[in-house]
Amino acid sequence: MAGKIEKDREGRLHISRSSISSRINKTGSWRYLKPVYAGRTAPCSAACPAGEDVPHIEHLASQGQFRGALDTILKENPFPAVCGHVCFHPCESACNRSCLDAPLAINAIERFVGCSDTEEKMLPLIQTVPPNGRRVAVIGSGPSGLSAAYFFCRLGYRCDVYESEKEPGGLLRWGIPSYRLPAAILKHEIKRIENLGAQIYCGRKVSASFLRTAEERYHAIFIGCGLARPIRMQIAGDVQALDGLTFLKDIRNGNRGAFSGVSAIIGGGNAAIDVARSLVRLGSHPIILYRRRVEDMPAFELEIGMAQQEGVDIRELTTPVRMDKSARGIALRLQKMATDGFETDSGRARVIPIRGERETLPVQQVFTAIGAEAENPWQQPKNGSGSILHLSHCTLTTVGFPIARGGDLVNQVLSVSDAVASGKQAAMAIDSYFQGGWASVEKRLADCRVGQGPALSLESYLMNDVSHQRHPQLVGYHDINTAYFLPADRAEPMVAGPKERRASFSEYRSDFTTRSAADEAGRCFNCGICNDCDNCRLFCPETAVSVEDTRRIDMDYCKGCGVCVVECPRGAMTMEEAEHETGS
């Protein structure tokens, strides 16, 4: 009866008593789906032409870490303060939060973060590549050129910027009025780029011969000199019309001039609005004449609204047909237009003149702001010579050595952020060319897209590995678990009333306070990123989530229930099909 039972006869009882933990049971073998910290892309980041990592920026700002927020912006955009003043914030239009209450005031927060940088040295804590011995010439110090210089410097190139005006900045300095972008803000941010090593040579207009000899001194060129030749109306008497862009430049130069009476402004873009709002401040009564409908105007809606509040009249479906001198100034002959029910290729209403509908408008002065074109033929790429690559924001040619053209030269861009994107794309394209040859450029850039593009991330480019690629999928509102967010009002700094605004060229937007900036940033869902809210670890029934330096899921035990993914408030996790990695 001894049996084969091994027992300690001195008091050890063979009972139902545990001796080991359940850890030997590798329940990871149960799952057929597994959770992944996917790091999907937020729609705001994808909408930003510069591809800024907006959720991270907001997360840092919400915790008062404005230096960190600034550095995060600077990874993708050298102009946070400038963009905070003038960007048309497509990020806010894409913001998922707008489905709950109101979009995040991303632009105002960027403005706050950008302007909070008061450090003397202003060397950003961002990654740069050691010098590679190559030199790049940048032609034009507008936003695209300066952006190109910034990104080239970060990529290890020696950069010389040639600017024809006496101060750098392009339209940022000489086009946009100071009530939208004070010069000091711009200077501060340009200094940062110079501190990275870019040399800016002002008063140096570049000619075609420069291009011919450039190959001896430079390994690549970026041309971002913009459209310097204003387009004329080409109607009788148009010589009497003043050029809007020149007018704006004069004001920025300190030559304001006196303009009274009625001014007519021909055009519908931001330049036309800038001219009109400037005229208001100079004592004139501006009337904008636009050939299509107001809703077709390319100018930013916000700007149009501001202008109208300040007393600018807008007459749509009107186009000038002749200008005659008159006793009091100019008799402007106008043709009324009507939509014909069709659209142009760019999606705007097609208009036709209404027979017999003409009128004369007596004005003091007429300004044109109907666009511009490149001044010199070499500023545009020649067809048929060498290879040419048309990217979304720049073109790349190799005739001997690589030349990129960006900014207004390539796109009729509306915004500074597109110009930033242009410079970045060009720098990345040229660097890819040097590293992997012509054939590698498109693929290399495509790997750095933010979402589906066209925005590119330099961060991804520098990391050069799959794990740091920005996820191609965007986080939608349905991916957000709104149970974790209480509706809250959008906070925005105050804007002065039209009467106050008209009185001067001073800025009219207040700034956030530190507290209100952090609070508003706290409304951000942080779509697609992990901000350590710890819900996944909290709710996991298997206690399979741990945090050491990174957050990880123990695949030996994860049953693939998916609770973590659903309870992630911000869609930072997805479920994927599981191949069994556990040993069991």
Chain contacts with other proteins (rule: CB under 8 A)? 1, 3, 5, 7, 11, 13-27, 30-31, 481, 483, 533-535, 537-539, 541-544, 554, 556-557, 559-563, 565-567, 575
Q: Smallest distance, Å, CB 524 to other proteins?
A: 18
Could you tell me the smallest distance in angstroms from the CB atom of residue 16 to other proteins? Answer: 5
* Cis check: omega of the bond before 35, within 30 degrees of 0: no
CA 43 to chain centre: 12
Question: Considering the complex, what minimum distance in angstroms separates the CB of residue 549 from other proteins?
Answer: 17
CA separation for the pair 486, 493 (Å, rounded)? 21
Residue 14 or 121: the one with the smaller Cβ distance to other proteins is 14
Using the minimum distance from each CB to other proteins, give the nearer residue, 15 or 239: 15
The token pair that represents 531 in the structure block: 């901000």
Helix axes 514-521, 66-76, angle to 10 degrees: 60
Q: Judging by beta carbons within 10 Å of its beta carbon (0-12, 13-18, 19+), is residue 439 exposed, middle or buried? A: exposed
* Residues 462, 127 contacting (CB under 8 angstroms): yes
What's the closest the beta carbon of residue 69 comes to other proteins, in angstroms? 23
Q: Which is nearer to other proteins, 447 or 554 (CB)?
A: 554
C-beta of 290 vs 525, nearer to other proteins: 525
Q: Taking a C-beta distance cutoff of 8 angstroms, is the pair 458, 428 a contact?
A: yes
- Residue 472 or 522: the one with the smaller Cβ distance to other proteins is 522
In 3D space, the residue among 370, 364, 377 whose CA is nearest the CA of residue 409 turns out to be 377
- Considering the complex, state which of residue 9 and residue 355 has its C-beta at the smaller distance from other proteins: 9
Q: How far is the CB of 32 from other proteins (least distance, A)?
A: 10
CB closer to other proteins out of 326 and 584: 584
Q: How far apart are the first and last CA of the chain?
A: 39
Minimum Å distance from CB 547 to other proteins? 9
Select 215 or 556, whichever has its Cβ closest to other proteins: 556
Bridge partners of 395, per DSSP, are 390, 405
Q: Alpha-carbon distance 135 to 130, whole Å?
A: 13
CB of 522 to other proteins, least distance (A): 15
Q: At what angle do helices 143-154 and 183-195 cross, to 10 degrees?
A: 30
Q: How far is the CB of 151 from other proteins (least distance, A)?
A: 40
- What's the Cα-to-Cα distance from 94 to each of 85, 102, 106, 260, rounded to whole Å? 19, 11, 11, 42
Return the half-sphere exposure (C-beta side, CA atoms, 13 A cut-off) of residue 398: 14
